[in-house]
A and B are shown apart, each in its own frame.
Chain A
């Protein structure tokens, strides 16, 4: 079958189904859930693309990947071209192909979605990126641009910083990333579990950037080890992408009992430090027989699915609204259900009850019902009078979200912040300090990997314009 298909023939092809590990087996291991499309599947899926003139998918992508172009190259089985196009637009395609909420971005705008199912753009992106990784030796090195003589400091080695660094390096600027933790990737590494984004993928994507000349210095906490002012003196521009690393506390009784975690701590122990994944890991984590995760976003799904893998008999999502309002990606919810995660909906935690030894024992909950729509347009959960019950739980994970970490911003009074403590940044990331740009969660609050990457990309353009 060539790519010379009529629209009718293209329309006749059904959407490829992503192969996945068996749910029962995978709920006990940390290997990646999705196994990736085969070449045949990927090419066939690519041929579902109508290559329409309006290209709405591109506008749905925060980094404006040339989607029809790379998909067409794949449909023509020209993988090197597909890889070159994709990598030209996206610094971390193997990451995006795995964790982007495509269903609400590029795929939501796909014309094929209007009648039937959109092209599986995310799965195709993953396929091409993985192919490019596996065939790195055979692909031509991207041309090294002439050195601009300008130096840029990037604060934070997460998705925003990595993207900004990659884009700036491609324009010939000397880039140094300063990372507070001992390893690269930021939230990609400490936040997203292995079964959704293998660490090896991060390692390869990061080494591709260092191969392009990007310097990465770990263990440097800007605001502590070095000040922003020092970076401004030593570099021609600074990009701040240090994330929203500050957990929101529950503010209910029993929060300091043993066995109670903020999602950041729970995930960091397991993802960054390796707790629970090998018997001799020096960093411990409490496994829990009954684990209650409060919240229903992607982080909550990551926590609850992790708890299941650590052996929890009951791994529960506790959420005050109903299933329809859950902010997590549909795929994550679907996967969680397949893995035996329980969804305790319309339930609001009142207090964590402890045992005599100071350990969490149960979550006291208030039954809720949906009332009138609130400001967000979602129906407001209201308590059902008299319906209070206890849910047994020896581990409770609070996944209510994160806020801006003030570690850096508190040391720079002249940097304008909003009332939430996020950096005020214009389109292109310019802040109130000339030459200092910002993007990602430190500007947006808790958002997504791809929005952070979009910020990094646009800020890199703005920085390049300023330095040229």
Chain B
């Protein structure tokens, strides 16, 4: 069992949780993830390790409570415990001093972006962070990112915070400005956003890393369920990734495979709705 030390709501349905997991905290490097189950019988949920404190033996995870098993994780209060936390899994981010880097996060992807951006800044890079979301409540970690970013640019679709529009509009402006144009870009968010970023940097030949979130089970390369096409080759996001060269990723296949269990998820939602209607 893994004790939950804190659990706070960052945005609607998005929780930040601190968990006691000393071995993982000691071994973890930015870019890696854990597989979590709140309890017996639940799905195995891959979650990025947002931060870690090796001395305190704790890790921070971000959970978007969108399905049955993620809701159960997010529902565990401080003092409670998660049954399973396995990791750190996946390849760490290649952190190098590139000079000027842009870190772009969309929605909950900003939580995945956070440890990378922090590590890139610590390695001496000049980090410009762009974060976007539907509207103000979905903009997360702006202050935390500002602590080490040269600047934090915010976009919202409804204009309720920062520039109205998508993260790509800020990126476009950066690419057009020789004084701000990044040497490398890291983008984490929904598939269409990462694809849009990769397409925008492609003509400039700017290396663009994206972090993929396919459906996963074991997280150790055993099942092959998280396979993605990268440069025409089949790669396993759990062991070869989760970060890949965005210019080589087949985003169509990724998006399509993410819909494989939509009917099941829909049925679960309906089931829960019915549950709610019969419960006074």
Which residues of chain A have a CB within 8 Å of any CB of chain B?
180-182, 190, 218-221, 224-227, 245-247, 249, 255-256, 258-259, 261-262, 264-265, 268-269, 273-274, 280-284, 286, 358, 405-407
B246 interfacial by beta-carbon distance below 8 Å: no
Which of B43, B86, B89 gathers most chain A CB within 10 Å? B86
Give min CB distance, A152 to chain B, whole Å. Answer: 19
Which of A247, A265, A358, A406 gathers most chain B CB within 10 Å? A265
Question: Are B260 and A245 interface neighbours, CB within 8 A?
Answer: no
Partner of B217, one of A218, A226, A269: A269
Report how far A282 CA is from B41 CA in the complex, Å.
Answer: 7
**What secondary structure prevails in chain A residues at the interface with B?**
loop
Report how far A66 CA is from B89 CA in the complex, Å.
Answer: 43
Complex A-B, nearest 3 residue pairs according to Cβ-Cβ distance, in ascending order: A245-B222, A284-B264, A265-B223
Chain B's closest residue to A284 (CB) is B264
Given A274-B41, A280-B271; A258-B259 close (CB under 8 Å): yes
244-266 of chain B: CB within 8 A of chain A: 253, 256-257, 259-261, 264-265
Report how far A261 CA is from B85 CA in the complex, Å.
Answer: 26
Report how far A286 CA is from B220 CA in the complex, Å.
Answer: 22
Using Cβ atoms and an 8 Å threshold, which residues of chain A touch B218? 180-181, 245, 268
Using Cβ atoms and an 8 Å threshold, which residues of chain A touch B37? 182
Which of B41, B86, B223, B268 gathers most chain A CB within 10 Å? B223
Which residues of chain B have a CB within 8 Å of any CB of chain A?
23-24, 27, 37, 41-44, 67-69, 83-89, 217-218, 220-225, 227, 229, 234, 239, 253, 256-257, 259-261, 264-265, 268, 271
Report how far A282 CA is from B39 CA in the complex, Å.
Answer: 11
Query: Can you list 28 A-B contacts (CB < 8 A)?
Result: A180-B86, A182-B44, A182-B86, A190-B222, A219-B84, A220-B86, A224-B27, A224-B220, A225-B24, A226-B27, A249-B227, A256-B229, A258-B257, A258-B259, A262-B223, A265-B217, A265-B223, A268-B217, A268-B222, A273-B44, A280-B271, A284-B264, A284-B265, A286-B260, A286-B261, A358-B256, A405-B222, A406-B221
Report how far A249 CA is from B223 CA in the complex, Å.
Answer: 11
Question: Are B89 and A221 interface neighbours, CB within 8 A?
Answer: yes
Report how far A358 CA is from B256 CA in the complex, Å.
Answer: 7
Report how far A314 CA is from B30 CA in the complex, Å.
Answer: 47
Report how far A8 CA is from B214 CA in the complex, Å.
Answer: 65
Question: Are B43 and A273 interface neighbours, CB within 8 A?
Answer: yes
